[in-house]
Structures are given as C-alpha cells and as structure tokens.
C-alpha cells in the first residue's frame, strides 16, 4: 500500500507546523501582516498645518498621531479613517481644522482594488472581519457587490416589526447525512465548509490554516485534488478527501481515513476544461505528492474517463463506499442546463451530498472567459435543482451544498433561502488570508501574498496560526450575520430558512 508521505515537506514548509496548539473557536485580533495597510481614504495635510492638535483631539479613530519624540510632527494612520461616518457625526476633521489644511479623498489603492463582483468594499470588509471577528460598522459595504445581477440584485424582505428570536437560541447546525442509511450522522456547527484547494495550487500553510479553522468551527475543509499532505493528519476528522479526474495522490488510506469523500466531476469556474498546474508551481514536494516529475505542467483531464453514465457513476460511488464503510459521499458537479437531472441521478447512485458549483468561483488561475460564460450562475441552479429534488420526493434525503461566487454572509443566506442546505466557500477564505484579487495565482512562483504559491520563500510569508485565526474570525462574523437574519425573521433554526424564496425580492421587479 502506498504511503501518504509528503517527502519534501521540510523544503516546502520552512515554518514547521508540528507542535502548534489545538485550534480554538475564539476571536483574537489578527491584524494585517503587511506594513502598509490599505484603507478606504487618503488624508492629505498641507503645509498650512500649524500642528495645533485640533484634528488629534476630534478624530474618533486615532488617525492623526504624533510619533514618539516628534512633538512638532503629525502623521496619519489613514487606513483607520471613516470619513463618511464623521461627516454624519460632526467629527469630520476637515471641517474643524482652523487652517483648512486637511483634505480627504478615496485612496488610490482603494480605487484600483477589486472589480464589479468583488468590489473594494467587499475585499476590505472581509479583511475587517478576518482581523476583528466583527461585522463592519457601516463605512464599508459588506453585504453585496456591484455586479448588477445575481445575489447583488436580491434582497431580503425583512418584516418591519414583529418578534425577534433571541440570538442565543438560534441553531446554525447542519446534518450532512440525510439518507438515513447505516452511515454515521455528521453534523457541522455552521452551514459552511471550506472548498478544495490543492497542494500545488495553494501553499501548505493555506491548506493547514483552512484545516485548523475547520476544526475550530466543527466543520470541514477539503484536500482538493493535489493529494493529502502528511501535516493534515492531525486534522483528518475535519478533512474531506477529494477524488478528481487526475487522481493525483488518491490512495486507499486517504479514502479510508476521510469522514467524507468528494468526487469532483467538474468545477463551476471552468467546466469542461479540467485542471492545469503550470510547471513553475510543480516543485519537488508537489511532484512527490502527485507522483509526477517536478517542473512539468500537470493536467487533470475532463471528464472522468471512467464515467459516461449514471451506472458508471454508481460504480464510482460503490467503489468509495466499499473502501470506506463509514464515509459519506459527496459529488461535486458544475451547473449545466440539465444539472437537475444530474443531481437526481447522483442521489439514486447513492450520494449523500450533491455539491453544485456555479460560475464566478475559482482562483485567479481559472480563465476569466470560462468563469463568466460557461456554467449557469448558482442563483439559477439552486432553485432549479431544489425544486426537481422536491418533485422527485427526495429533497429531504440529500444534502444540497452550493458554491461558486458566494462572497458574503448575505450571499450564503440568500443561497439557503433559494433552496440550498449550506455553502462551500473558497475565494472568501483567500481574501480573509490577505488576497487582493490580483488574478496572478498561477503565474511564475505564484502569489506574492504567500497564499497561492508553493515557493518556500513565499510560503513563509504567512504563518499557519495567523491564517487560521483570520478564517476563524471571519466565520464568527458570518455566523453573527446569519443569526441576525434568522432572528429578524423570528426563526430558531437555519433549516427554517431553506427554500423560503417568498422572503426574497428582486430589485428589478419591486
Ligand atoms: S474624517 Fe474622521 S476618522 Fe477620518 S481622519 Fe478625520 S476625524 Fe479621523
Ligand atoms: S493575491 Fe494571491 S491568491 Fe489572491 S489573486 Fe493574487 S495571486 Fe491569487
């Protein structure tokens, strides 16, 4: 039997993970790890400033400071500034400066950050949640982007008044085994788990940060298709083993140790295209894990060449169930027009979880043209599949998990109201760990922020504890928002929100 050794772990992981304390579900400050923090505003101070200190006195955010030993020098911690709130509250320093020496504008970095889906506000608000575990207080838009469609056009119809549920009495737990078969009950504490990111596409520190956050929140992360690195073993009860078309690193023992095994048939960001790891990211450690030659590009074909029918698919599911009599089986598919038929077929083949992956997800390595033009957006796929499962009389026997372009806690809640049981996130996790959405994940040595890279020097830019804490904090903030939504509807359990399309409205029609 093959072993699961990551033979070059030391070379790929210069910061050893062994000896870390067990992760805990607790908010702890995890400020940005780079020196020059990005903020929404830039504060300009002209030569007219006489250092009178009026701005220091009035600023509620501590933006204007005198560095130690410089009584006659004022500088700005611009990233703290919340100018719009100050205008409303009467604390706008620009208006109070007796010399008219201050000017505040949107910062050039803010203006160049993000795009219509992942706006600068969404990126910065995710950083805020990851740093503090708190929901932003109004300066940043944290619920929707500016895409002009999909989740960005859907609102909740909250009741104007009516009883609210006590947040402490609200359950966000989700049972993943609804089949009622002889396999274990698997309950996660939040209706969210982490998507597959393979060793090779992202760094081992990214993978381990995700795993630790999954342990803290009693949920799951997923190996992705690059194999099971040895340092994941302490977290194995919270890891999904992915079996994808390339079968990289797929080994009997990694299937046997997994509480959930996921077949990845396709990815919503690039359905029909398979996967492609460029040679530069295929380091000796990655190659050893994938049993390939270092430095060569690696392809995952599309489709599984062993599956061309539901019967073939059932053989796959039976294979996993035979090797691991305790695992739940998940099937990840993209969203073609007949995705409802695919979901039903998958259920009859024996799957416990149908994971729909719509367009718009994926890292910067997925081609933009594929992300935006091939798969059906997940907002359309969810009600289509949920309804079809209902008509078939099996909706309550299968768990419907969705992903692809879900950026915020509000997207998650809307997906559940459209008919999903829970969601898988990936890009939001990367943003929480400091991703700036530059889209260069696949090129050269990979991500300069140390997230989507296998280069040892880049990997060392992010410690596992910091990455995990950022994710733990973000999940706190997401759960807080989900609980608030349920509370406003007077609900006690996230299950009550599932399929409640009557609670949603579309901005174009109302
Ligand atoms: S606008 Fe408000 S938060 Fe910003 S620097 Fe001035 S006083 Fe401080
Ligand atoms: S910051 Fe890193 S992970 Fe984010 S898009 Fe750029 S290369 Fe990819």
Instruction: State the pLDDT at residue 1.
Output: 31
Q: Is 86 in the same domain as 206?
A: no
Q: Is 315 in the same domain as 446?
A: yes
**For the chain, percent helix, then strand, then coil, each to nearest 5?**
35, 15, 50
Q: Is the dihedral of CA 37, 446, 251, 345 positive or negative?
A: positive
* The domain boundary residue, chosen from 111, 133, 155: 111
Instruction: State the pLDDT at residue 288.
Output: 85
Q: Is 369 in the same domain as 432?
A: yes
Q: Report if residue 14 sits inside a domain.
A: no
Per-position DSSP letters for 70-108, written without gaps between them: -TT--EE-GGG--HHHHHHHT--HHHH-TT--EEEEE-H
Nearest CA to ligand 2 atom 8: 441
Q: Is 96 in the same domain as 234?
A: no
Q: Is 205 in the same domain as 324?
A: yes
Q: Report if residue 13 sits inside a domain.
A: no
Q: Report if residue 157 sits inside a domain.
A: no
Mark residue 296 as left, alpha or beta (left: phi above 0; alpha: psi -120 to 50; beta: remaining). beta
CA dist., res. 258 & res. 176, Å (int): 14
Q: Is 171 in the same domain as 281?
A: yes
Ligand number nearest to the C-alpha of 64 = 1
Nearest CA to ligand 1 atom 4: 81
Ligand number nearest to the C-alpha of 39 = 1
Ligand number nearest to the C-alpha of 365 = 2
The residues lining ligand 1, judged by C-beta closer than 6 Å to any ligand atom, are 43, 58-59, 61, 63, 81-83, 86, 91-93, 104
Q: Which residues touch 441 (CB under 8 Å, ≥6 apart)?
A: 201, 363, 364, 365, 447, 452
CATH number of the domain where residue 275 is located:
3.20.20.70
Q: Which residues touch 128 (CB under 8 Å, ≥6 apart)?
A: 134, 136, 140, 142
Domain housing 74: 41-111
* The domain boundary residue, chosen from 111, 126, 141: 111
Instruction: State the pLDDT at residue 362.
Output: 59
Give the total number of structural domains in the chain: 2
Q: Is 496 in the same domain as 373?
A: yes
Which of 206, 250, 195 is CA-nearest to residue 226? 250
Q: Is 264 in the same domain as 402?
A: yes
Q: Report if residue 10 sits inside a domain.
A: no
Q: Report if residue 58 sits inside a domain.
A: yes
Q: Is 169 in the same domain as 93?
A: no
Strands (DSSP E) contained in 107-173 are: 154-156
Q: Is 75 in the same domain as 204?
A: no
Q: Is 459 in the same domain as 378?
A: yes
Q: Report if residue 153 sits inside a domain.
A: no
CB atoms within 10 A of CB 264: 25
- Cα Rg, the chain, nearest whole Å: 24
Q: Report if residue 86 sits inside a domain.
A: yes
* The domain boundary residue, chosen from 87, 111, 135: 111
CB atoms within 10 A of CB 395: 20
Mark residue 301 as left, alpha or beta (left: phi above 0; alpha: psi -120 to 50; beta: remaining). beta
CATH number of the domain where residue 63 is located:
3.30.70.20
Nearest CA to ligand 2 atom 4: 435
Q: Report if residue 147 sits inside a domain.
A: no
The residues lining ligand 2, judged by C-beta closer than 6 Å to any ligand atom, are 363-364, 430, 435-441, 447, 449, 451-452
One digit per residue, pLDDT tens: the chain, 510 residues?
333 333 333 333 333 445 688 899 999 999 998 877 889 999 999 999 998 999 999 999 999 988 877 777 777 789 889 999 999 999 999 999 999 999 999 999 999 999 999 999 999 999 999 999 999 987 899 999 999 999 999 999 999 988 999 999 999 999 999 998 999 999 999 999 999 998 888 999 999 999 999 999 999 999 998 889 999 999 999 999 999 887 888 889 999 999 999 998 877 556 666 677 778 778 888 888 888 888 888 887 777 778 888 898 899 999 999 999 999 999 999 888 889 999 999 999 999 999 999 876 655 555 666 556 667 889 999 999 999 999 999 999 999 999 998 999 999 999 999 999 999 999 999 999 999 998 888 776 778 899 998 888 889 999 999 999 999 999 999 999 999 999 999 999 999 999 999 999 999 987
Q: Is 64 in the same domain as 194?
A: no
């Amino acid at each position: 039997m093959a072993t699961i050794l990551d033979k070059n772990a030391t070379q790929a992981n210069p910061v050893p993970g062994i000896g870390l304390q067990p992760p805990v579900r607790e908010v702890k400050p995890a400020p940005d790890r780079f020196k020059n923090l990005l903020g929404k505003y830039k504060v300009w101070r002209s030569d007219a400033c006489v250092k009178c200190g009026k701005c220091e006195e009035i600023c509620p955010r501590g933006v204007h400071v005198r560095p130690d030993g410089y009584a006659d020098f004022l500088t700005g911690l611009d990233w703290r500034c919340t100018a719009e709130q100050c205008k409303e509250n009467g604390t706008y320093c620009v208006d109070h400066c007796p010399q008219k020496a201050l000017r505040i504008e949107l910062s050039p970095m803010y203006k160049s950050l993000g795009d219509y889906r992942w706006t600068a506000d969404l990126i910065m608000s995710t950083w805020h949640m990851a740093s503090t575990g708190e929901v932003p207080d109004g300066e940043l838009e944290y619920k929707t982007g500016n895409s002009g469609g999909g989740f960005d056009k859907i609102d909740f119809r909250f009741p104007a008044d009516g009883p609210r549920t006590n947040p402490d009495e609200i359950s966000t737990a989700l049972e993943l085994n609804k089949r009622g078969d002889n396999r274990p009950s698997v309950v996660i504490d939040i209706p969210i788990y982490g998507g597959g990111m393979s060793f090779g596409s992202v760094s081992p520190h990214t993978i381990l940060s995700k795993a630790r956050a999954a342990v803290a929140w009693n949920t799951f992360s997923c190996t992705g298709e690059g194999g099971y690195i040895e340092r994941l073993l302490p977290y194995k009860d919270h890891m999904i083993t992915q079996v994808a078309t390339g079968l990289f690193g797929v080994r009997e023992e990694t299937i046997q140790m997994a509480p959930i095994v996921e077949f990845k048939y396709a990815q919503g960001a690039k359905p029909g295209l398979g996967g492609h790891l460029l040679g530069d990211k295929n380091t000796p450690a990655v190659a050893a894990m994938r049993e390939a030659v270092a430095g060569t590009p690696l392809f995952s074909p599309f489709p599984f060449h062993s599956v061309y029918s539901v019967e073939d698919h059932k053989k796959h599911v039976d294979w996993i169930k035979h090797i691991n009599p305790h695992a739940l089986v998940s099937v990840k598919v993209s969203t073609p027009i007949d995705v409802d038929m695919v979901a039903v077929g998958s259920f009859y083949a024996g799957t416990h979880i149908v994971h729909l992956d719509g367009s718009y997800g994926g890292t910067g390595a997925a081609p933009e043209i594929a992300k935006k033009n091939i798969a059906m957006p997940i907002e359309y796929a969810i009600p289509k599949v949920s309804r079809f499962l209902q008509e078939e009389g099996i909706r309550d026997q299968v768990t419907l998990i969705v992903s692809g372009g879900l950026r915020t806690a509000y997207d998650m809640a809307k997906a559940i109201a459209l008919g999903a049981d829970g969601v898988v996130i990936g890009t939001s996790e990367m943003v929480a760990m400091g991703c700036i959405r530059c889209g260069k994940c696949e090129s050269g040595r990979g991500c300069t922020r140390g997230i989507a890279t296998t280069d040892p020097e880049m990997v060392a830019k992010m410690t596992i504890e910091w990455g995990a804490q950022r994710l733990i904090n973000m999940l706190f903030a997401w759960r807080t928002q989900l609980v608030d939504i349920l509370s406003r509807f007077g609900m006690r359990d996230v299950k009550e929100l599932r399929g409640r399309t009557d609670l949603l409205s579309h901005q174009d029609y109302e």
